Amino acid sequence: MENSVATANKSRPRNTVMSIVKGMAIILMVAGHAEGGDMLVRFIYLFHMPVFFIAAGYFFSQSSLDDPWRFCMKRVRGLYFPFVKWALLFLVLHNILFYFGILNETYGNWKGGVTHPYTLHSFFQRLVHIIFSMAGYDEFMAGAFWFFRALLITSVGYLLLRLLLRHMFPGIGVVRASLIICAAALAFALFKIGCGMRIVTVVQGGIRETWGIFFFSFGVIFRALEPRMPRLSWWHAVAIFAFLIAGAWLEWTGMTLTPALLTVATLPVTGILGFMLLRRIAQHVDRRDNVLRRTLVTVGEMTMCVFVFHISAFKLVSLVKIWWYGLDFGQIGCHMVIHDYASSDLFWVAYTVVGVAVPIVWKMAYDRLAAGVRDRRMSISKVTENG
């Protein structure tokens, strides 16, 4: 697999438990974007994005410290290039979507903000931001794209910090070095939030990248200690679930752009516990080769296309909701979903299913078509050579 959260060496055996973890996390992300009720959304946001950073750290190869350039180039190919490709696609499509009414200036996000057609100047300004700062993407059609930038900065940042620690303390172990980085990231988050400081060279101020380094480091630690860890019992899993429910009820926050000081104390706990809960469930699912297991493994190995296209897929459900309630067609432009009745109906379930399934089915169909074209070309080439 080569997507935004996989850095495993090809020599390593396939880790289906982690694929299932990522599959559940991406489903939760889509459900959170589907506005399935305040309590559900708060619960999901406590841990779903930290899980992806933990998974990325889990697959960090220690050999990357000896060949950092190769690691950085792999991250660029796996995160920067896809970001630019898909961000440019939605940039080009933006005004076209306005022409057909799929985007409009009447209906917007739940905070009341709307989008506008791009002028020639704003088009090129966004183009520059996309290429040089991994920003400028279409917020209404590519709202989850911040993750690609955050994971790229997180991955490279962790690598540089590890190299620095190895230079300062030769022979330092994996766990000890990663614990130091975890502590430094936590201290820096506290400093940033307490002082209201922004990293001006990082779009959105760098708070998500700071958290990303913390959770990435934890993923490295977890991988190193995993063989010595006892299996989490179901009683522990239930206790974790109850704790996360309490955190949602208390309105603790996730990886938001405007966290409170309380977040420094709560997010590391909820992020790690959420990962542990999903991993325990994944271990249980992985025991039997059935439809559920195969589905979650497939979803977990195709998170890239879900990140890119789930908002576009939402529009299909929005069309049905408009017909169901007799709403103004312009509401298809709502971001991310139609807000009317969202807190009381079950359309969030349909949004979640379609938001996950349609991008994956599209990707599988495209891959099959591309493979058929390649096979046909190879057959023609062989016939030509033998002719």
The answer to whether residue 4 is domain-embedded is no
CA distance 170 to 164: 10
| pLDDT over threshold 70, residue 348 | yes
Q: Count Cβ neighbours within 10 Å for each residue of 142-151 and write b for 16 or more, e otherwise.
A: bebbbbbbbb
The answer to whether residue 186 is domain-embedded is yes
Structure tokens at 269: 């706990």
The answer to whether residue 212 is domain-embedded is yes
The answer to whether residue 5 is domain-embedded is no
Q: Per-residue confidence at 200, pLDDT binned at 50, 70, 90?
A: confident
> Tens digits of per-residue pLDDT, 137-188?
999 999 999 999 999 999 999 999 999 999 999 999 999 999 999 999 999 9
pLDDT at 387: 58
Q: Count Cβ neighbours within 10 Å for each residue of 213-239 and write b for 16 or more, e otherwise.
A: bbbbbbbbbbbeeeeeeeebeeeebee
The answer to whether residue 383 is domain-embedded is no
What residue has token string 């070095």? 177
| Closest by CA position to 4, among listed 50, 44, 56 | 56
Number of domains in the chain: 1
CA distance 39 to 326: 28
CA angle 46, 6, 253 (to 5 degrees): 10
> Tens digits of per-residue pLDDT, 28-57?
999 999 998 899 999 999 999 999 999 999
pTM of the model: 0.93
**Mean pLDDT computed over 340-366:** 95
The answer to whether residue 8 is domain-embedded is no
> Tens digits of per-residue pLDDT, 98-148?
999 999 999 999 888 999 999 999 999 999 999 999 999 999 999 999 999
Structural domain range at position 288: 16-378
Q: Per-residue confidence at 385, pLDDT binned at 50, 70, 90?
A: low
Residue 150, SS3 per DSSP: helix
> Tens digits of per-residue pLDDT, 251-302?
999 999 989 999 999 999 999 999 999 999 999 999 999 999 999 999 999 9
The answer to whether residue 268 is domain-embedded is yes
| Closest by CA position to 251, among listed 262, 238, 264 | 262
The answer to whether residue 191 is domain-embedded is yes
